[in-house]
């Protein structure tokens, strides 16, 4: 059985009348890469903050590596890349990475961390002169330089180009292949599909799905009929044979269906202006929309 490195038991967190997390149970195992997904306000940032000890649950317990989260963070066992985090402006990149490395008991060589983040050629540049994407790479170098057992990444690839994203995920996967653990929150569902071993899907502060990408997709089931429709009427689309869910964005229509043949027959019988029809298996984005109730229009 995989050793658990992150545990939450019946964690609830409220902010006044708003419930950010409601009775959440979660176990993350050694060597896992876990994507935490959900619409805005689902509780993703609160969940990560509690895992880091930056917030305390209103009720329930959280432990990381067998200890309170803040203790694991202070011991250098957790590397963090937050969506909003400042950097010293008037310091060179190499100096900053080296200074942070000196705060850890067993850090990586600074050059190794900079190479992993793709900023070795920026070592002599001042942070204040960097672009947004370059700053994000520097943050990732600071995240891994302590050689942590657990990575917690909040929207890690925001601002990165294709090469930067590829390098970041290559490093994350190399670390998890060594038995380290990575937990990340992202709005890029393709990244979760490509790189996560497991998806934890939040909606309204609750875990509504938890499993491999294929498992989460199977919870929705069926297939999708996609088409262009110039005069789409939501009520008419919903009563088509086999239709489970409808999404309309402008002229683009997506119908999740349990019987694509019946849906297609009904679609062509009801509408005269159907174009660009294709049938696809359910993808992670469709599962996300269905399980969280997002995207209906």
Instruction: DSSP for 113-148, please give it.
Output: HHHHHT-GGGTTSBGGG--HHHHHHHHHHHHHTT--
Report the chain's terminal Cα–Cα distance, integer Å.
44
Largest Cα–Cα separation, the chain: 70
What is the pTM for the complete model shown? 0.79
Mean of all residue pLDDT scores within the chain = 91
Query: Could you tell me if 53 and 154 lie in one domain?
Result: yes
Query: Could you tell me if 201 and 227 lie in one domain?
Result: no
Query: Is the alpha carbon torsion for 157, 163, 169, 175 positive or negative?
Result: negative
Tens-place pLDDT, residues 138-187: 999 999 999 999 999 999 998 898 888 998 999 999 999 999 999 999 98
Closest CA to 175 of 202, 208, 204, 140: 140
Q: Helix, strand, or coil here: 291?
A: helix
Tens-place pLDDT, residues 94-151: 999 999 999 999 999 999 999 999 999 999 999 999 999 999 999 999 999 999 999 9
Query: Could you tell me if 115 and 236 lie in one domain?
Result: no
Distance (Å) of CA 175 to CA 42, 121, 179, 181, 274:
28, 23, 7, 8, 48
At 69, the pLDDT band (50, 70, 90 cuts) reads: very high
Cα dihedral 171→176→179→185 (10° resolution) = 120
Query: Could you tell me if 268 and 124 lie in one domain?
Result: no
- Mutual angle of helices 93-101 and 110-117, in 10-degree steps: 120
Closest CA to 6 of 202, 213, 210, 183: 183
CA 122 – CA 138 distance, rounded (Å): 9
Is residue 209 within 8 Å of residue 291, measured between CB atoms? yes
At 1, the pLDDT band (50, 70, 90 cuts) reads: low
Domains: count for the chain: 2
Tens-place pLDDT, residues 246-277: 989 899 999 988 889 999 999 999 999 999 99
Q: Which domain holds residue 249?
A: 222-281
Closest CA to 5 of 182, 178, 147: 182
* Domain boundary, last residue among 156, 183, 212: 212
Query: Could you tell me if 145 and 270 lie in one domain?
Result: no
Query: Is residue 48 domain-resident?
Result: yes
Query: Is residue 294 domain-resident?
Result: no
Radius of gyration of the chain (CA): 22
Distance (Å) of CA 120 to CA 116, 143, 165:
9, 15, 16
Query: Could you tell me if 124 and 266 lie in one domain?
Result: no
> Has residue 296 got a pLDDT over 50?
no
Query: Is residue 289 domain-resident?
Result: no
Q: Decide the pairing of beta strands 33-37 and 59-64.
A: unpaired
Confidence at residue 182, expressed as pLDDT on a 0 to 100 scale: 97
At 294, the pLDDT band (50, 70, 90 cuts) reads: low
Confidence at residue 2, expressed as pLDDT on a 0 to 100 scale: 72
Beta partners for residue 130, in sequence order: none
């Amino acid at each position: 059985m995989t050793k658990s490195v992150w545990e939450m038991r019946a964690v609830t967190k409220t902010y006044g009348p708003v419930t950010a997390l409601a009775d959440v149970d979660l176990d993350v195992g050694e060597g896992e890469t876990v994507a935490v997904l959900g619409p805005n306000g689902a509780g993703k940032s609160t969940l990560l903050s509690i895992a880091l000890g930056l917030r305390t649950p209103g009720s329930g317990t959280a432990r990381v590596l067998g200890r309170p989260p803040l203790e694991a963070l202070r011991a250098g066992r957790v590397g963090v890349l937050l969506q909003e985090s400042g950097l010293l402006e008037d310091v060179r990149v190499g100096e900053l990475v080296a200074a942070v490395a000196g705060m850890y008991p067993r850090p990586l060589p600074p050059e190794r961390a900079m190479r992993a983040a793709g900023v070795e050629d920026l070592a002599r540049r001042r942070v204040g002169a960097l672009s947004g994407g370059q700053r994000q790479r520097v943050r990732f170098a600071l995240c891994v330089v302590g050689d942590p057992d657990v990575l917690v990444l909040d929207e890690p690839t925001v601002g990165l180009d294709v090469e930067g994203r590829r390098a970041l995920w290559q490093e994350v996967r190399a670390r998890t292949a060594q038995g380290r653990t990575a937990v990340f929150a992202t709005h890029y569902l393709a990244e979760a599909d490509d790189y996560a071993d497991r998806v934890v899907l939040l909606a309204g502060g609750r875990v509504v799905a938890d499993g491999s990408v294929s498992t989460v997709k199977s919870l929705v089931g069926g297939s999708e009929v996609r088409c262009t429709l110039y005069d789409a009427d939501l009520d008419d689309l919903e009563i088509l044979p086999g239709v489970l869910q409808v999404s309309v964005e402008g002229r683009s229509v997506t119908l999740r269906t349990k019987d694509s043949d019946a849906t297609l027959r009904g679609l062509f019988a009801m509408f005269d202006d159907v174009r660009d029809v294709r049938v696809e298996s359910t993808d992670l984005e469709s599962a996300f929309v269905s399980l969280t109730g997002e995207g209906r229009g």
